[in-house]
A and B are shown apart, each in its own frame.
Chain A
Amino acid sequence: MDFTPEEQQRYARQLALPEIGTAGQAKLRAGRVLVIGAGGLGSPAALYLAAAGVGTLGLMDGDAVDLSNLQRQILHATADVGRRKVESAAAKLRALNPQTELRLFPERFTAANAAARLADFNFVVDATDNFASKFLIADACHAAGRPYAHAGILRFHGQVMTVLPGKTACYRCVFEQQPPETGASPQGPLGVVPGVLGTLQAAEAIKFLLGLGQLLTDRLLTFDALTLRFREVPVKRQPHCRLCGDPDHARP
């Protein structure tokens, strides 16, 4: 629970919050969060988690920085084009907070590496950019009992939801199975959309580590930048969910 004078100054505003204080800051320091995807969602999520003093941050991404990423992936800069995203991200995060221990995984999240990666972390941020990964994260986090914050974005809107596997509604309770690929070239998103939703994922990770407030569970929050409206949709565990449902429950 000891914090150096430098740490006390760095985290002064959080330490001054009675809901956080020294005990909460120690929980953040003991926290281990895996951010899967170092792109539009992962950029703000990782920046806020490192800034808040999360002790160990895992970053997983197999891609390299492309010039077309920079419109929304604010961890990366022009000079990083061509560099591995996890390395580009690590440089920014180390500059922001050298006390956060970074674990870098320059690879995609796959069925083969899922269990080993999840084992070392206590909360997961799904910041991936494709359905295959999002469904795989839901499945692997369920198998590992690992809580996660899901987010997905499309054009000008997106959604976010936190899942405590086996306790609250999961991604598959709502979205069931991977939709067919459209084959169309992606349009958007507007850069601020993953900015908003990735920031909310970081808030969920911080709240989970602190045991503070109410998590975004059993409700899906949608965000539309064009109308600037948030909507909360209640969702509940589906008895016939193919992932977390009762195996004896007949599918409708």
Chain B
Amino acid sequence: MQLLVNGKTLERPEGDTLAGLLVALGADAGRVAVLVNDEVVPQARRAAAALHAGDRVEVLTFAGGG
């Protein structure tokens, strides 16, 4: 299935979860905010969050510098 991840299309296996996607992206789960179709998905819910074709996923890295 095709997802739109940070504005780019990405092919992922059917049944993929948000947690699975983050692993595939190499994201540090504790240091990213994730939105699926504009809704924030807290870390505790990502393993159970099934992704569907066409989902828009935004992975935002915590940036603490100034």
Shortest CB-to-CB span from B3 to chain A, Å, is: 15
Also in contact, A134 and B40, with CB within 8 A (given A174-B33, A235-B35): no
Within 8 A of A (CB), among B40-64: 40, 42, 45, 58, 60-64
**B60–A174 contact, CB under 8 A?**
yes
Complex contacts, B60 vs chain A, CB 8 Å: 159, 174-175, 220, 222, 233
Instruction: Tell me the bound Cα distance from A50 to B58 in angstroms.
Output: 36
Interface: A85 (CB within 8 A): no
CB pair A129 B65 closer than 8 Å: yes
Residues of chain A contacted by B45 (CB below 8 angstroms): 252
Question: Do A176 and B7 touch (CB < 8 A)?
Answer: no
Do B66 and A127 touch across chains, with their CB atoms under 8 A apart?
A: yes
Q: What residues of B have a CB within 8 angstroms of the CB of A180 in the complex?
A: 30
- Rounded to whole angstroms, the CA-CA distance of A203 and B9 in the bound complex is 33
Q: Provided the pairs A159-B60, A180-B30 are in contact, do residues A40 and B65 lie with their beta carbons within 8 angstroms?
A: yes
- With an 8 A cutoff between CB atoms, is B11 at the interface? no
Known: A176-B33, A233-B58. A128 touches B66 (CB 8 A): yes
Contact at B33–A41, with CB atoms within 8 Å? no
Which residues of chain A have C-beta atoms less than 8 A from B6's C-beta? Answer: 231
In Å, the complex CA distance between A16 and B12 comes to 54
Contacting residues, chain B, for A220 (C-beta < 8 A) = 60
CB distance from A233 to the nearest CB of B (A): 5
Tell me the bound Cα distance from A176 to B35 in angstroms: 12
Distance of B58 from chain A, by nearest CB (Å): 5
Identify the A interface with B (CB < 8 A).
Answer: 37, 39-42, 126-131, 134, 151-154, 157-159, 173-176, 179-180, 182, 186, 188-189, 194, 220, 222, 231, 233-236, 238, 252
Some 22 contacts from A to B, beta carbons below 8 A apart, are A37-B66, A40-B65, A129-B64, A131-B64, A152-B63, A152-B64, A152-B66, A153-B63, A157-B63, A158-B63, A158-B65, A159-B60, A174-B33, A175-B60, A176-B33, A176-B40, A179-B62, A179-B64, A188-B65, A194-B65, A233-B35, A252-B42
